[in-house]
Amino acid sequence: MTFSIMTPNGTLIAYSTPADIRIIRDQIALVSMTWKEQLAKKYQMQPHQGDHDHVHELSESLRIGLKRAVKADALETLTLEFERRNILVRYLQARLLLVLEGGVPSSRKRELKITVEAPGESRYPPDTGADMSSSAHLNGDLNGGGQGEHADEAREQYGSPSAMSQASTAISSTGRRMGVLDVHRRKLDALAKAIGEEFARDGFEMPGDGGDKFF
């Protein structure tokens, strides 16, 4: 499992190690493109006027203007499910996204599935709250057999040891045996919460980028 922090325009800010930087750069390019596409679609599906037909009658130039006016936090979470991996993206603040990539057991072939969530919408995947068994399974799924070995390196890259440890504790203490995607989502939620709290405590805000299309 790997983590990275990026801008919506595809600038890599930080990443966990070990990692192949070429793979990470391909990943953030994909995330940047998909995030912007889904953000635009989300906005068009929920026009402020409440008039779906009217939006489709707008001129192309006006529609582009509406896209640029979309709020940075119109999307909160993006989930990409590939055949062999999951990529989950979380909005941290304007111009900053947290990205988690985790492997998926090779069981059956599955098509690409994209799920988006706006603030306040239902969690994906749904939290069933079913009783599960030991947390050892969670650590194995989360770490892919290697995350624990490289925790120190990841903390150094993020400069946030408490964020990493809080996320791990939040998952291992559930005492449940759950699906891989749910494990990935819980890890993302816990890490995003910890990083967000550190940002708030330090008063950190990502500087603006004049080239941002949506932000």
Q: pLDDT, tens digit, for every residue of 138-191? A: 444 444 433 343 334 434 444 455 565 555 544 444 444 579 999 999 999 999
Q: How many CB atoms lie within 10 A of CB 186?
A: 19
Pairwise CA distance, residues 24 & 31, whole Å: 10
Structure tokens belonging to residue 69: 């006016």
pLDDT class for 49, splitting at 50, 70, 90? Answer: very low
Position 142: which residue type?
Answer: L
Q: For the segment 59-72, what is each residue's pLDDT rounded down to a tens digit?
A: 454 455 544 556 77
With a CB cutoff of 8 Å and minimum separation 6, the contacts of 149 are: none
Q: Which residue has the higher pLDDT, 74 or 169?
A: 74
* pLDDT, tens digit (0-9, with 9 covering 90-100), for 97-117: 999 999 998 877 888 999 999
In this predicted structure, what is the pLDDT of residue 156?
A: 42
| pTM, 2 dp | 0.70
Q: Do the Cβ atoms of 114 and 78 come closer than 8 Å?
A: yes
Q: Are 78 and 88 a contacting pair, CB within 8 Å?
A: yes
Q: Spell out where 50-84 has E strands.
A: 77-81
- N- to C-terminal Cα distance for the chain? 28
